[in-house]
Structure 1
Amino acid sequence: MIRLATAADLDAVVALHTEARSTYYRGHLPDEEFAGPAELARSRAGWEAAVGRGAVLCAEHDGELAGVAAHRVDDGVAVLSQLHVAPARWRRGVGTQLHDACVAAWRAAGASRARLEVFDRNERARAFYAARGWLPDPDGPRDGDHLGLVLALAP
Protein backbone atom coordinates (compact mmCIF):
# COMPACT_ATOMS: atom_id res chain seq x y z
CA MET A 1 0.00 0.00 0.00
CA ILE A 2 1.27 3.49 -0.89
CA ARG A 3 0.19 6.34 1.38
CA LEU A 4 1.29 9.78 2.53
CA ALA A 5 3.69 9.79 5.44
CA THR A 6 2.62 11.31 8.73
CA ALA A 7 4.61 12.68 11.65
CA ALA A 8 4.12 9.30 13.35
CA ASP A 9 6.21 7.71 10.56
CA LEU A 10 9.25 9.94 11.04
CA ASP A 11 11.39 7.59 13.15
CA ALA A 12 10.76 4.65 10.79
CA VAL A 13 11.41 6.81 7.70
CA VAL A 14 14.73 8.06 9.07
CA ALA A 15 15.79 4.53 10.09
CA LEU A 16 14.92 3.11 6.64
CA HIS A 17 16.72 5.97 4.90
CA THR A 18 19.84 5.43 7.02
CA GLU A 19 19.84 1.66 6.46
CA ALA A 20 19.39 1.98 2.70
CA ARG A 21 22.05 4.66 2.30
CA SER A 22 24.50 2.67 4.39
CA THR A 23 24.28 -0.23 1.94
CA TYR A 24 25.44 1.78 -1.05
CA TYR A 25 27.66 4.44 0.55
CA ARG A 26 29.64 2.12 2.84
CA GLY A 27 33.06 1.50 1.34
CA HIS A 28 32.75 4.53 -0.94
CA LEU A 29 32.39 7.35 1.60
CA PRO A 30 33.51 7.72 5.22
CA ASP A 31 30.73 6.52 7.57
CA GLU A 32 30.51 9.99 9.12
CA GLU A 33 29.23 11.35 5.80
CA PHE A 34 26.12 9.14 5.77
CA ALA A 35 25.71 7.82 9.32
CA GLY A 36 27.50 10.26 11.61
CA PRO A 37 25.56 12.24 14.24
CA ALA A 38 25.57 15.49 12.24
CA GLU A 39 24.35 13.75 9.09
CA LEU A 40 21.65 11.85 10.96
CA ALA A 41 20.39 15.11 12.49
CA ARG A 42 20.41 16.82 9.07
CA SER A 43 18.61 13.86 7.54
CA ARG A 44 15.95 13.82 10.24
CA ALA A 45 15.32 17.55 9.84
CA GLY A 46 14.99 17.15 6.08
CA TRP A 47 12.54 14.27 6.36
CA GLU A 48 10.55 16.09 9.03
CA ALA A 49 10.18 19.12 6.76
CA ALA A 50 9.22 16.98 3.75
CA VAL A 51 6.63 15.04 5.77
CA GLY A 52 5.24 18.35 7.01
CA ARG A 53 4.81 19.54 3.40
CA GLY A 54 2.96 16.36 2.48
CA ALA A 55 5.79 15.44 0.10
CA VAL A 56 6.65 11.93 1.33
CA LEU A 57 5.09 8.68 0.20
CA CYS A 58 5.38 5.48 2.23
CA ALA A 59 5.17 1.97 0.87
CA GLU A 60 3.78 -0.30 3.53
CA HIS A 61 3.84 -4.10 3.26
CA ASP A 62 2.73 -6.56 5.91
CA GLY A 63 2.23 -3.67 8.32
CA GLU A 64 5.83 -2.46 8.03
CA LEU A 65 7.47 0.44 6.25
CA ALA A 66 9.10 -1.04 3.14
CA GLY A 67 10.08 2.13 1.26
CA VAL A 68 9.84 5.91 1.11
CA ALA A 69 9.96 8.58 -1.57
CA ALA A 70 10.23 12.35 -1.18
CA HIS A 71 9.21 14.42 -4.19
CA ARG A 72 7.88 17.78 -5.24
CA VAL A 73 7.11 19.90 -8.31
CA ASP A 74 9.05 23.17 -8.70
CA ASP A 75 8.11 25.52 -11.55
CA GLY A 76 6.58 22.66 -13.56
CA VAL A 77 9.55 20.32 -13.09
CA ALA A 78 9.13 17.30 -10.84
CA VAL A 79 11.98 16.51 -8.47
CA LEU A 80 12.54 13.11 -6.93
CA SER A 81 14.78 13.98 -4.01
CA GLN A 82 14.72 10.60 -2.24
CA LEU A 83 13.59 7.08 -3.07
CA HIS A 84 14.70 4.34 -0.68
CA VAL A 85 13.60 0.76 -0.17
CA ALA A 86 14.48 -1.32 2.86
CA PRO A 87 17.28 -3.64 1.69
CA ALA A 88 15.30 -6.68 2.88
CA ARG A 89 12.58 -5.64 0.39
CA TRP A 90 14.79 -5.05 -2.64
CA ARG A 91 13.65 -6.64 -5.91
CA ARG A 92 10.08 -7.12 -4.70
CA GLY A 93 8.41 -4.24 -6.57
CA VAL A 94 8.41 -1.71 -3.73
CA GLY A 95 10.58 0.80 -5.60
CA THR A 96 8.44 0.42 -8.71
CA GLN A 97 5.28 1.09 -6.72
CA LEU A 98 6.77 4.23 -5.19
CA HIS A 99 8.15 5.40 -8.54
CA ASP A 100 4.80 4.88 -10.26
CA ALA A 101 2.99 6.78 -7.50
CA CYS A 102 5.41 9.70 -7.88
CA VAL A 103 5.00 9.76 -11.66
CA ALA A 104 1.21 9.76 -11.29
CA ALA A 105 1.41 12.67 -8.82
CA TRP A 106 3.73 14.62 -11.13
CA ARG A 107 1.45 14.14 -14.10
CA ALA A 108 -1.56 15.19 -12.02
CA ALA A 109 0.37 18.34 -11.06
CA GLY A 110 1.03 19.10 -14.75
CA ALA A 111 4.77 18.42 -14.77
CA SER A 112 6.21 17.45 -18.14
CA ARG A 113 9.70 16.58 -16.93
CA ALA A 114 11.25 15.10 -13.81
CA ARG A 115 14.77 15.30 -12.40
CA LEU A 116 16.78 13.42 -9.79
CA GLU A 117 20.37 12.86 -8.68
CA VAL A 118 21.79 9.41 -8.04
CA PHE A 119 25.07 8.39 -6.39
CA ASP A 120 27.30 7.49 -9.33
CA ARG A 121 28.51 4.25 -7.68
CA ASN A 122 25.01 3.04 -6.86
CA GLU A 123 24.69 0.76 -9.86
CA ARG A 124 21.49 -0.85 -8.55
CA ALA A 125 19.71 2.52 -8.44
CA ARG A 126 21.16 3.62 -11.78
CA ALA A 127 19.84 0.43 -13.42
CA PHE A 128 16.46 0.90 -11.74
CA TYR A 129 16.08 4.42 -13.14
CA ALA A 130 17.40 3.51 -16.60
CA ALA A 131 14.81 0.72 -16.83
CA ARG A 132 12.11 3.34 -16.22
CA GLY A 133 13.31 5.72 -18.93
CA TRP A 134 15.51 8.12 -16.97
CA LEU A 135 18.37 9.55 -19.04
CA PRO A 136 21.46 11.65 -18.21
CA ASP A 137 20.52 15.31 -17.73
CA PRO A 138 22.24 17.28 -20.49
CA ASP A 139 21.85 20.51 -18.46
CA GLY A 140 23.28 19.17 -15.21
CA PRO A 141 24.90 15.83 -15.75
CA ARG A 142 26.99 15.78 -12.58
CA ASP A 143 27.11 17.26 -9.09
CA GLY A 144 30.22 15.90 -7.38
CA ASP A 145 29.71 12.17 -6.95
CA HIS A 146 26.07 12.28 -8.12
CA LEU A 147 24.68 12.03 -11.63
CA GLY A 148 21.72 14.09 -12.79
CA LEU A 149 18.98 12.17 -14.57
CA VAL A 150 15.80 13.36 -16.29
CA LEU A 151 12.55 11.72 -17.27
CA ALA A 152 10.11 12.99 -19.88
CA LEU A 153 6.57 12.68 -18.52
CA ALA A 154 4.20 11.87 -21.35
CA PRO A 155 0.61 12.89 -20.67
Structure 2
Amino acid sequence: MIRNAVPADLDAIAALHAEARASYYRGHLADELFDSPAEHARMRAGWEAGIGRGVVLCAERRGAVVGVAASGEIDGVMNLAQFHVDPARWRAGIGTELHAACLASWRRTGVTTVRLEVFEHNTRAQGFYARQGWLPDPDEPRTGNHLVLRLEIG
Protein backbone atom coordinates (compact mmCIF):
# COMPACT_ATOMS: atom_id res chain seq x y z
CA MET A 1 0.00 0.00 0.00
CA ILE A 2 1.19 3.52 -0.83
CA ARG A 3 -0.05 6.36 1.36
CA ASN A 4 0.85 9.83 2.58
CA ALA A 5 3.27 9.80 5.48
CA VAL A 6 2.06 10.92 8.88
CA PRO A 7 4.07 12.19 11.88
CA ALA A 8 3.94 8.73 13.51
CA ASP A 9 6.03 7.43 10.56
CA LEU A 10 8.98 9.72 11.27
CA ASP A 11 11.12 7.23 13.23
CA ALA A 12 10.63 4.47 10.64
CA ILE A 13 11.34 6.85 7.74
CA ALA A 14 14.50 8.22 9.37
CA ALA A 15 15.80 4.70 10.07
CA LEU A 16 14.99 3.49 6.55
CA HIS A 17 16.68 6.53 5.03
CA ALA A 18 19.82 6.05 7.15
CA GLU A 19 20.09 2.39 6.16
CA ALA A 20 19.47 3.05 2.46
CA ARG A 21 21.98 5.91 2.39
CA ALA A 22 24.64 3.79 4.05
CA SER A 23 24.11 1.11 1.39
CA TYR A 24 25.28 3.38 -1.41
CA TYR A 25 27.60 5.87 0.31
CA ARG A 26 29.65 3.46 2.46
CA GLY A 27 33.02 2.87 0.86
CA HIS A 28 32.70 5.96 -1.33
CA LEU A 29 32.37 8.75 1.24
CA ALA A 30 33.70 9.15 4.76
CA ASP A 31 31.15 7.66 7.18
CA GLU A 32 30.79 10.90 9.15
CA LEU A 33 29.36 12.56 6.04
CA PHE A 34 26.28 10.31 6.10
CA ASP A 35 26.36 8.32 9.34
CA SER A 36 26.97 10.76 12.20
CA PRO A 37 24.55 11.92 14.89
CA ALA A 38 24.54 15.43 13.42
CA GLU A 39 23.79 14.13 9.92
CA HIS A 40 21.02 11.85 11.22
CA ALA A 41 19.47 14.80 13.09
CA ARG A 42 19.65 16.97 9.94
CA MET A 43 17.99 14.32 7.80
CA ARG A 44 15.33 13.63 10.44
CA ALA A 45 14.48 17.35 10.54
CA GLY A 46 14.15 17.35 6.75
CA TRP A 47 11.79 14.38 6.82
CA GLU A 48 9.75 15.96 9.61
CA ALA A 49 9.36 19.14 7.56
CA GLY A 50 8.40 17.16 4.45
CA ILE A 51 5.79 15.17 6.33
CA GLY A 52 4.40 18.43 7.70
CA ARG A 53 4.10 19.84 4.16
CA GLY A 54 2.41 16.65 2.93
CA VAL A 55 5.05 15.85 0.29
CA VAL A 56 6.13 12.42 1.57
CA LEU A 57 4.73 9.12 0.32
CA CYS A 58 5.28 5.81 2.11
CA ALA A 59 5.17 2.26 0.86
CA GLU A 60 3.81 0.06 3.62
CA ARG A 61 3.81 -3.72 3.97
CA ARG A 62 2.18 -5.46 6.95
CA GLY A 63 2.21 -2.23 8.94
CA ALA A 64 5.90 -1.43 8.30
CA VAL A 65 7.26 1.46 6.24
CA VAL A 66 9.40 -0.19 3.54
CA GLY A 67 9.78 2.66 1.07
CA VAL A 68 9.61 6.43 1.06
CA ALA A 69 9.61 9.22 -1.52
CA ALA A 70 9.56 13.00 -1.23
CA SER A 71 9.21 15.52 -4.00
CA GLY A 72 8.77 19.23 -4.26
CA GLU A 73 9.22 22.18 -6.53
CA ILE A 74 12.53 24.03 -6.69
CA ASP A 75 12.84 27.09 -8.94
CA GLY A 76 9.71 26.08 -10.83
CA VAL A 77 10.84 22.50 -11.49
CA MET A 78 9.51 19.41 -9.70
CA ASN A 79 12.30 17.45 -8.00
CA LEU A 80 12.23 13.92 -6.67
CA ALA A 81 14.32 14.83 -3.65
CA GLN A 82 14.32 11.48 -1.85
CA PHE A 83 13.47 7.96 -2.98
CA HIS A 84 14.43 4.98 -0.82
CA VAL A 85 13.40 1.37 -0.39
CA ASP A 86 14.46 -0.79 2.54
CA PRO A 87 17.57 -2.60 1.20
CA ALA A 88 16.27 -5.88 2.63
CA ARG A 89 13.30 -5.55 0.27
CA TRP A 90 15.01 -4.54 -2.97
CA ARG A 91 13.79 -6.27 -6.12
CA ALA A 92 10.34 -6.94 -4.63
CA GLY A 93 8.44 -4.35 -6.71
CA ILE A 94 8.17 -1.78 -3.92
CA GLY A 95 10.22 0.85 -5.75
CA THR A 96 8.21 0.37 -8.94
CA GLU A 97 4.94 0.75 -7.03
CA LEU A 98 6.20 3.81 -5.16
CA HIS A 99 7.47 5.37 -8.38
CA ALA A 100 4.08 4.79 -10.05
CA ALA A 101 2.39 6.57 -7.14
CA CYS A 102 4.77 9.53 -7.56
CA LEU A 103 3.96 9.65 -11.29
CA ALA A 104 0.23 9.57 -10.59
CA SER A 105 0.59 12.41 -8.10
CA TRP A 106 2.61 14.52 -10.52
CA ARG A 107 0.14 13.92 -13.34
CA ARG A 108 -2.80 14.94 -11.11
CA THR A 109 -1.12 18.27 -10.46
CA GLY A 110 -0.10 18.88 -14.09
CA VAL A 111 3.63 18.30 -13.68
CA THR A 112 5.30 17.52 -17.01
CA THR A 113 9.00 17.41 -16.07
CA VAL A 114 10.73 16.06 -12.97
CA ARG A 115 14.42 15.97 -12.10
CA LEU A 116 16.47 14.08 -9.55
CA GLU A 117 20.07 13.63 -8.48
CA VAL A 118 21.59 10.18 -7.99
CA PHE A 119 24.99 9.41 -6.48
CA GLU A 120 27.45 8.61 -9.27
CA HIS A 121 28.46 5.29 -7.67
CA ASN A 122 24.89 4.15 -7.03
CA THR A 123 24.56 2.08 -10.20
CA ARG A 124 21.69 0.03 -8.76
CA ALA A 125 19.54 3.16 -8.42
CA GLN A 126 20.68 4.44 -11.81
CA GLY A 127 19.48 1.19 -13.40
CA PHE A 128 16.13 1.46 -11.61
CA TYR A 129 15.61 5.03 -12.81
CA ALA A 130 16.59 4.11 -16.38
CA ARG A 131 13.96 1.34 -16.35
CA GLN A 132 11.40 3.94 -15.26
CA GLY A 133 12.26 6.20 -18.21
CA TRP A 134 14.61 8.72 -16.58
CA LEU A 135 17.35 10.12 -18.84
CA PRO A 136 20.41 12.30 -18.24
CA ASP A 137 19.39 15.94 -17.95
CA PRO A 138 20.77 17.60 -21.09
CA ASP A 139 20.86 21.02 -19.41
CA GLU A 140 22.75 19.90 -16.27
CA PRO A 141 24.07 16.33 -16.52
CA ARG A 142 25.77 16.35 -13.12
CA THR A 143 26.20 18.32 -9.94
CA GLY A 144 29.23 17.45 -7.82
CA ASN A 145 29.32 13.69 -7.30
CA HIS A 146 25.71 13.21 -8.43
CA LEU A 147 24.25 12.62 -11.87
CA VAL A 148 21.19 14.67 -12.75
CA LEU A 149 18.34 12.79 -14.41
CA ARG A 150 15.13 14.10 -15.93
CA LEU A 151 11.78 12.48 -16.60
CA GLU A 152 9.36 13.88 -19.12
CA ILE A 153 5.82 12.90 -18.14
CA GLY A 154 3.52 12.25 -21.06
Shorter-normalised TM-score: what interval? over 0.9
- Partners of 1:76 and 1:26 lie apart in 2 by 33
- Partners of 2:56 and 2:147 lie apart in 1 by 22
Instruction: After the TM superposition, list the runs of 4 or more consecutive aligned residues in structure 1 that deviate by more than 6 angstroms.
Output: none
Superimposed CA distance per residue, residues 5-45 of structure 1 (whole angstroms, 9 cap, x where no aligned partner): 01110011000000011011100001101111111111011
User: For residues 47-126 of structure 1, what are the structure 2 equivalents within 5 Å?
Assistant: 47-74=47-74, 77-126=77-126
Identity %: 62
**Residue 79 of structure 2 aligns to a residue in which SS?**
strand
When normalised by structure 1's length, the TM-score is: 0.96
Deviation at 1:62, TM superposition (A): 1.6
CA RMSD of aligned residues (A): 1.1
Unaligned runs of 5+ in 1: none
Task: Between 67-76 and 84-93, report the one with greater CA deviation.
Answer: 67-76
Letter in structure 2 aligned against 1:55: V
Unaligned runs of 5+ in 2: none
User: For residues 113-152 of structure 1, what are the structure 2 equivalents within 5 Å?
Assistant: 113-152=113-152
Is the Cα–Cα contact under 8 Å of residues 76 and 111 in structure 1 kept in the other structure? no
